[in-house]
Amino acid sequence: MTTFSSLGISEPILKALDKMGFEEATPIQAETIPSALEGKDVLGQAQTGTGKTAAFGIPMISKIDRSKRQIQGLVIAPTRELAIQVGEELHRLGQFKGIKTLPVYGGQHMDRQIRALREGPHIVVATPGRLLDHIRRKTINFSGVHTAVLDEADEMLNMGFIDDIREILSSIPEERQTLLFSATMPKEIRDIGTKLMKDPTEVKVKSKEMTVTNIDQSYIEVQERQKFDTLSNLLDIDEPKLAIIFGRTKKRVDEVTEGLQARGFRAEGIHGDLTQGKRMSVLNKFKNGRVEVLVATDVAARGLDISGVTHVYNFDIPQDPESYVHRIGRTGRAGKGGQAVSFITPREVPHLHLIEKTTKSKIARKTAPTNDEAAQGQQQIAIEKMMRTIESKDLQAYNDKADELINQFGAQTVVAAALKMLTKERRNAPVRITSIAPISVKGNFKDKKKYRGGGSRGGDRRNSGGGKSRSRNYQGQGKRSSGGYRGKRNNENN
């Protein structure tokens, strides 16, 4: 395990990573960041969903001088969606340095973009076509750029942008650091590495074959604010013998644990801030059945070997498919079946599809249980307990008292009272869980034809005179904020 704190990252960025729920670096991040921090050019090969944005974003932000109101970092992305998403994450990574990030893409009013560029963003994330427009109009100044990034370079090649990329790079100071990332490495992309980069360090991360067996996977599409009540109802219906609930951050784990305890569940939380003694105490309770629900972050759960886990609940979906497989693999062990349920907010559905593609498994959708269904579930559990008692126990000693009660109150009332006694009635305690932003995922560009129809810049969907900005909260566009974009992206585990 490589932690971000071991990579020589500055304190403001570490603080941002902690707030975002990051602690452990993905392979592409662990291999790229040290070289990039030394100022080396990097030629990286990695698939979508491996954490490339942080891999190039952390070194870029580390070098930015906030006091200089000029463009110092440039990221070139194939589509407006990618530009927006990369910009969101870069803003979040630089939030404690006060970094301003501006997306530039076709479909926005040119005059608005020009005004935003004059305000001096530190980082511009742009699509090739619109970026070339600004270069030719002389409305963008690259004299202060020290870091240039090509993201999803093979997609830009597929969309006909390769000549544009060469022209853009020739407009940037030669004394710069260049980072190029691509899922594949065709000859044209490697030529850029040879001719326009300086002795680049090559980083290659193969996507692992990840398959899941023996586990019944499902997901519930649910709004963030409804997650906790949905979880409570599911636990009442499923009544897991041992369950692990995964949250993205330490604060999340604490809040979910306290909420479950308030509603009468035997729950404990575990994360990196706990002492070793407290961790061992919680795990022993869980292994011995004194705790039925363990709430954990990814990092805290690594290395735990707990048998008998029947259910895994992803309260927050993880950033990368490998973490998803690692989480749900806590159940379904030793040949036994297991249940894995993930809560997905509407904006996270594309990320779910990425996980399905990577794990080569279909995750079934199911509806969120209602309060009535949860209550009926608990009653059904009580009925099953009564049936087992009737079938397996000698009840002779209780017959006389049973007759008295039936004569006095009637059989239906007596049975109803017994069911009520056996049914767990949850305390309807109000629980507040702090909201966090959803995980977003870069597009897979499956339908590339729609990007190729407009000449060499079809992928930019250029329309300088119209179209609405999809990024209203970036610096210089729509609603303004002191730090640029109020990012709505959160990432992995704590």
Do 177 and 32 form a contact (C-beta atoms < 8 A)?
no
Q: For residue 489, what pLDDT band results from cuts at 50, 70 and 90?
A: very low
Give pLDDT, residue 472. 33
Report the chain's C-alpha Rg in angstroms: 27
- The token duo for 152 is 């999803």
Give pLDDT, residue 208. 56
Give pLDDT, residue 74. 97
Is residue 243 over pLDDT 90? yes
pLDDT tens for each residue of 175-208: 999 999 988 888 888 888 888 899 999 998 865 5
Q: Partners of 268 in the beta sheet?
A: 294
Over range 380-394, report the average pLDDT.
78
Q: For residue 492, what pLDDT band results from cuts at 50, 70 and 90?
A: very low
pLDDT tens for each residue of 116-154: 999 999 999 999 999 999 999 999 999 999 999 999 888
Q: Which of 22-26, 298-302, 365-369, 484-488 has the highest mean pLDDT?
A: 365-369
Give pLDDT, residue 274. 79
Structural domains in the chain?
Answer: 4-208+445-460 (3.40.50.300), 223-344+346-371 (3.40.50.300)
Question: Which one is predicted more confidently, 2 or 67?
Answer: 67
Over range 396-400, report the average pLDDT.
84
Cβ within 8 Å of residue 157, ≥6 positions away: 186, 188, 189
Q: Partners of 226 in the beta sheet?
A: none
What separation in angstroms does the CA of 102 have from each of 38, 170, 178, 346, 484? Answer: 26, 21, 19, 26, 7
Question: Which one is predicted more confidently, 402 or 255?
Answer: 255
The percentage of the chain sitting over the pLDDT mark of 90, rounded to a whole number, equals 40
Average pLDDT, the chain: 81
pLDDT tens for each residue of 37-96: 999 999 998 866 678 899 999 999 999 999 999 999 999 998 887 888 899 999 999 999
pTM: 0.54
Cβ within 8 Å of residue 408, ≥6 positions away: none
Cβ within 8 Å of residue 491, ≥6 positions away: 20, 21, 22, 51, 54, 89, 248, 319, 439
Residue 403 exposed, middle or buried by CB count within 10 Å (0-12, 13-18, 19+): exposed
Residue whose C-alpha is closest to residue 103's, from 74, 63, 141: 74
Measured at the CA of 466, the angle between CA 465 and CA 470, to 5 degrees, comes to 130
